[in-house]
Every structure is written in C-alpha cells, then in structure tokens.
Amino acid sequence: MMKERTLRVLEFTKILDMLASFAVTDMGREACEKLTPLSDLAQVNEALEETEEAQVILTYLGDSPLIGFPDVRPYLTLAAKGAALNPKALLSVAECLRASRAARSALVTDRDNTPRITGLASHLQTFRQLEDAITGAIISEEELSDHASPQLADIRRHIKQSNERVREKLNSMVHGASFSKYLQESIVTVRDGRYCIPVKQEYRQFVPGLVHDQSSTGATLFIEPMAVVELGNDLKQWKAKEREEIERILLELSGQVGAQSEMIEGNIYVLTRLDFIFAKGHLSREMNAVLPHMNDQGRIKLVRVRHPLIPSEKVVPCDLWLGQDFTTLIITGPNTGGKTVTLKTIGLLTLMAQCGLHIPVGDGSTVRVCQRVLADIGDEQSIAQSLSTFSSHMSNIVGMLQETDGDTLILFDELGGGTDPVEGAALAAAIIEHARSLGALVAATTHYAELKVYAMTTPGVENASCEFDVETLAPTYRLLVGIPGKSNAFAISQRLGLPEEIIQAAAARVSAEN
C-alpha cells in the first residue's frame, strides 16, 4: 500500500524505532519494526482503540504490566520432540510462564473500559505448578537445588560425607610428621576430579599412590595416595549417580514443558501482541499524543499539530486542514521556514494514525484513511544513473501519478524545481491539476509566484504560508492557511547588508503586476 521510498522520506522508520524501544521482549520489538499502515477504516479504528486502552491501563497502573522474557519457541520445539532442555532453557521457559501469569493477573479484571486488551489477555493460560517445579528445582543456569528430588538430596548427602572422609584422611597425612617432609606444600588439591597431595619428585617412591598430574617443571607430582583411592572411587560413583539424577530431572521437566508446548506458544503470541500494544501506549504518552478521529470522506484537520520527531521544546504547534473546503494546499514561504516539515507532518501523521498510533495533535483532529500516501520530498539524484535533480524528481513523480486515484494523499516538495522557472511553474501547475482530476488530496510546497496565483484563482485550491519575521531574519514556523507566502529575498538581503542601490535595482526588475 505504501511505497518504501515514501516511508523513508517521511522518516516513518524513525517512528518505528521509537515504538520498538518501548517493547520489553524481542518478539514485541520485531512486531513494532514490522508495523505497516492499515487501509480499512474499521481496522484502523480498532488498532487506535487498542492504543487508547493501553493508555488507560498505563495511567491506572503507572507502568506496563508486562515482564520481559526471552524467545523460548526453539526450546518448546525441542521439548515437544522429547529432548532434554538444559537448566538455562528451562529457566527461560519459567520466565515466560511467570510473564503470562503476571499479565493475566493484571489485565483480566472487572474494568469495563478496556475490553480489547482484557479479552486478549483472557486467552493467556497459567501453569503455576510447572513454573514452580522448574524454579524450585533449578537454582541457576549451572546448578540444581538439593530439593529437586529426594534422590538428588540423598546422593548429595553421600557426596558430602565421602568428601569429608577423603579430606580428613588427606589432611591427617599432609600434617603428619611422616609425610610432610615429602611434600612441596602441606595442602590438599584436586586433579581430574580426584583429591591429591603435591609430592616432591625425588620422594615419589615414599608415597605410594596414583599420579594424576605434575607441575610444569616436573619438580612436583600430584599423587592420590593409595590410602584414599577407594574412598575416591566411592566419591566418583556418587558423582556419576548425581549426574544421572540431574539428567533424569531435566528430562522430566522438559517432558512437562513439551506436553504444554502448544499452549505456551499460544501464550507467547498473546504476550507479543500485548507487548506491541503497550509499546503503542508508551509512545503515545512519550509524545503527549491523542486519539484522532478517522474518516474515509477525504478530510484532514490537524489542530495544534506537532511534528513527532522535533523536540517538544522546539516544535511550534500549528493548525492545518485539507479535504473539506479545498482538496489542494499550496505552501509557500522562505527557505528553512518550515514548508518541508509541514509537508512531512501531514504525511507522517497520516501513516501513524493508519498504524493505530496516537498522534501529537490537539482535540478535534481528524485524519483521512488513505489507500496510498505518495511523497516526492528531498533530492535523491542518482549519479550512477546520471539523473539530474530535476530528472530524479520527475521520474519519481511519473511513478506516483501512475498510482494516484481518489484514495491517495500525494505530497510534492518544491514541485517543478531544478529547471527553468517559467517551464517549471507551468509544469507544476499541470501536475497538480492532473492529480486533482484523479481525485487525490494534494499538498505541495513551492517558491513559484505563478502557483500562488493558481491557488488564488482555482476553486478547491488554497494557499498557505510559513510565517517569517523580517526583523529577526528568523522563521516563526507558524503555518498560515489562506495566506500566500513570499520568499522575502529583498528584506533578508537588506538586513544582511546588501547595498540599497542593488535592492532598488532588483525591485525595479519586478513588474508591478507581480
């Protein structure tokens, strides 16, 4: 519906980046980044009402009721096939289950002013028993709790006892008078999972046992004395039993996850939708935006509109309208006065509203649902294709006009620029008139006086100008609908010090009629 170039020049992707920054899950962020405008009025209104409900809940709760969790869908697939998940994967599943339970608890209430979100959240299933089984059994990504099973607790008790017996035996050896003289240090160390003592190489024959390692110089051997070999074997057997029991527990928990995998995946879909909806609510709060009225009768009315990408302390709110008394708006004024920003604002806010996003306007604003928003803004001349600025714009405009119909909002920036002014102005008026004949809403910026006259003398076409303060040589960024603007070239040049005789000579060249 919307061309990629239009989305780019209107900076729609920056809005999506802002939206995605408010999502708490990777799946929610992905949904935000893939958002595209809707073209059905009923669907647009439903999407906007979802955002309004999110606003209500955020105001009531103070923050989002959603908890972030990783994407566990690959784990669910493995578990459903009978694979054993590792502790990290199972803990991630438990996070997902907790997020589902928390969202349902917060959103499925008696509130009657959030029916869409409440209805969506009511599809969430809770698995408190499975959630508790996982979190009760697994302490961290590397460790299971002693309480994961009675068998594991018993095995670990035997491991602890075996450890103590081995260490007691070795400590008595390293601190005994008969052994200490053979050791590099009076310590007990572990090599390859076996308890050893550091014996000097030259005393190897005096300490019978198994050599498990040696120092880099070869001066020290790490020996497991024969007196503790049997105790060490016993310890090793208990550790093997511990590994087997851990594998059994993980497989059992994974089986429980696999049995519920379809319903958990259903929860993920619902949570992703909720994450996306609450991201829209957060963006609305961030922009101090409101729910616009939508229509399919071709009317756009933006009250105290602000461009959403301009900082709030710098933006100047304006009123603009299109599609009721006139279907074409010709915006004039000096460079840097805000003409292009106004054009982008019309297009960007239309796209936002059709995505179900609130827009930064005042109450009483209305936006038309368009099938297409087409824009020719900015200079994208192609060196590789040897296209001049004029040719680049004209190639784009040709493609736009081929798609234009009565359901199109079309935006032209500096239409007819980059060529002979007389021909450019005539061409611009003809293009606008053709787009109007196809039934499109048109907004265009220009410096051409001929287009101002065209707007003044053509029914259905209206002038607008970006106000400029000649005293300060600064634009006010206020849009004045119904008043043609001027470039103020003489006044600006005079204020900058251009000699008066040059100003007068230039003025003499402008006809009285102009």
How far apart are alpha carbons 412 and 164 in whole angstroms?
84
Give 138's strand partners.
Answer: 144
How far apart are alpha carbons 436 and 329 in whole angstroms?
11
Q: What is the pLDDT of residue 381?
A: 40
Given a cut of 90, whether residue 254 has pLDDT beyond it is: yes
CB-based contact 358:51 (threshold 8 Å) = yes
Q: What is the pLDDT of residue 285?
A: 95
Mean pLDDT, range 460-468, rounded to an integer: 84
Given a cut of 70, whether residue 486 has pLDDT beyond it is: no
How far apart are alpha carbons 290 and 43 in whole angstroms?
18
Q: What Rg value do the Cα atoms of the chain yield, rounded?
A: 37
Phi, psi torsion values for 469, nearest 5 degrees: -90, 105
Given a cut of 60, whether residue 385 has pLDDT beyond it is: no
Given a cut of 60, whether residue 369 has pLDDT beyond it is: yes
Where would I find the H helices in 288-419?
A: 339-354, 389-403
Three-class secondary structure of residue 98 per DSSP? helix
Given a cut of 80, whether residue 490 has pLDDT beyond it is: no
Q: Which burial class, exposed, middle or buried, applies to 112 when counting CB atoms under 10 A from its CB (0-12, 13-18, 19+)?
A: exposed
**Number of Cβ within a 10 Å radius of residue 464:** 26
- Provide the percentage of residues in the chain whose pLDDT is more than 70: 93
Q: Cβ neighbours of residue 13 under 8 Å, at least 6 residues apart?
A: 7
Write out the two tokens for 87: 């502790």
Q: What is the pLDDT of residue 180?
A: 81
Q: 304-360 pLDDT, tens per residue?
A: 999 999 888 888 888 999 998 999 999 987 666 678 889 999 999 999 999 999 999
- Give the residue with greater pLDDT, 265 vs 450: 265
Q: 152-203 pLDDT, tens per residue?
A: 999 999 999 988 888 888 888 888 777 788 888 888 888 888 888 999 999 8
Q: What is the pLDDT of residue 344?
A: 93
Show the CA angle centred on residue 284, arms to residues 280 and 285, nearest 5°. Answer: 120
**Number of Cβ within a 10 Å radius of residue 128:** 10
Q: 26-75 pLDDT, tens per residue?
A: 999 999 999 999 999 999 999 999 999 999 999 999 889 999 999 999 99
Which run of H or of E encompasses 51?
helix 41-61
pLDDT band at 148 (very low <50, low <70, confident <90, very high): very high
Q: Could you tell me which of 219, 172, 166 has the C-alpha nearest to residue 196?
A: 166
pTM: 0.84
pLDDT band at 386 (very low <50, low <70, confident <90, very high): very low
Most confident of the ranges 103-112, 124-133, 450-459: 124-133
Q: Is the torsion defined by CA of 19, 21, 23, 29 positive or negative?
A: positive
**Number of Cβ within a 10 Å radius of residue 383:** 6
How far apart are alpha carbons 486 and 474 in whole angstroms?
14
